[in-house]
Amino acid sequence: MAQTAESAPLPNPLIIPLGDHGLLVRFAIALSDRANLATVAFARRLREQMPEGVTEIDPNLVSVLLKYDPARIAFDQLAGEVRLLIGSPDGRKGARPKRYRIAVIFGGEEGPDLDEVAAALKLAPSAFIAEHNARPLRVLTTGFAPGFVYCGFHPEHLELPRRSSVRPLVPAGTVLFAAGQTAITATSIPTGWYVIGQTDFRNFDAERDPPTQLREGDEVLFEAAKK
């Protein structure tokens, strides 16, 4: 099971300026389940109690960027409010994340790296697909490119580093695999991840506001699409 954001106290983050309009709250240097859960939980608290002067929040894998208007609040004051928010009890423990089912065509032309990935993990392709889809994943973060989502974490026996070379462009809806994660593209981008499949799901529509559906902390259950 993907864990929901814990109600336990959040780990003590680093609070650091990012220029003169940004404050970054970073829960770890390295990516870990714990640091990402803290990030997701902190972003949720922020949305419930947005400090005055904050113009935008941008959760990442292990950190949240708060953009602020320095005419309304200074860094030190905002940092104090952030510490208060981190130390305060979470009123919404056990809130259930939204769950999305995403159908993927694995392998073949849609997923040219699937066989290589399965072989590297010493699994038959069908066994890899079954393992890949066996448990829901958490949306770790969004926004590397429009609508791009990172989902994780797979168990250790499904971990593979990125490919050594970069594909110049993969289309929207490409399902990527590396570093214990599965990612979905919503626009065409270059990538160094393995291409394991393709989905009709598009997490980006510029004509809608907000333009994306998935948010950090949501759950994604991948399914094999019927060809």
Partner 1 sequence: MTALRILRAAPLTTLQDAGRFGYLRHGISASGPMDRAAFQRAEAWLGGAGSTAIEFTTGGLSLRVEGGSIGAACDGGEFTLSLNGEKLEWPARMSLKDGDVIDIAPGPAGNYGYFRTSHEVDVPLLLGSRATNLVSRLGGLQGRGLRAGDLIPVGSRVQRRMSMHPRPAMPAKGPIRVIWGLHADLFSDDVREHFISEPFVISHRIDRMGARLEDRAGVFTAAEILSLVSDAVVPGDIQILGDGTPIVLMRDHQPTGGYPRIATVVDADLDRLAQMRPGSEVSFRPVTLAQAYALLKAGHA
Q: Which of 5, 45, 63, 137 binds partner 1 (CB under 8 A)?
A: 63
Q: Which of 9, 17, 87, 171 binds partner 1 (CB under 8 A)?
A: 17
Please tell me whether residue 33 binds partner 1 under the rule CB under 8 A.
Answer: no
Q: What is the DSSP letter of 140?
A: E
Residues 162-191, interacting with partner 1 (CB under 8 A): 186-187
Q: How far is the CB of 52 from partner 1 (least distance, A)?
A: 17
Q: Which of 61, 104, 129, 175 binds partner 1 (CB under 8 A)?
A: 61
Q: How many CA atoms lie within 13 A of 63 on its CB side?
A: 16
Written as one letter, the residue type at 196 is I
In the complex with partner 1, which residue's Cβ is closer, 14 or 124? Answer: 14
Q: Where are the alpha helices (DSSP H) in the chain?
A: 33-48, 75-87, 114-120, 125-132
**Full DSSP string of 80-125:** HHHHHHHHSPPTTTTPPPPEEEEEEEESTTT-TTHHHHHHHTT--H
Written as one letter, the residue type at 137 is L
Q: Report the C-alpha gap between 55 and 12 in whole angstroms.
A: 24
Please tell me whether residue 16 binds partner 1 under the rule CB under 8 A.
Answer: yes
Q: Which of 29, 84, 120, 134 binds partner 1 (CB under 8 A)?
A: 29
In the complex with partner 1, which residue's Cβ is closer, 1 or 71? Answer: 71
Question: Which residues form the interface with partner 1 (CB under 8 A)?
Answer: 16-22, 24, 26, 29-31, 55-63, 65, 67, 70-71, 74-75, 142-148, 186-187, 204, 206-207, 209-212, 215
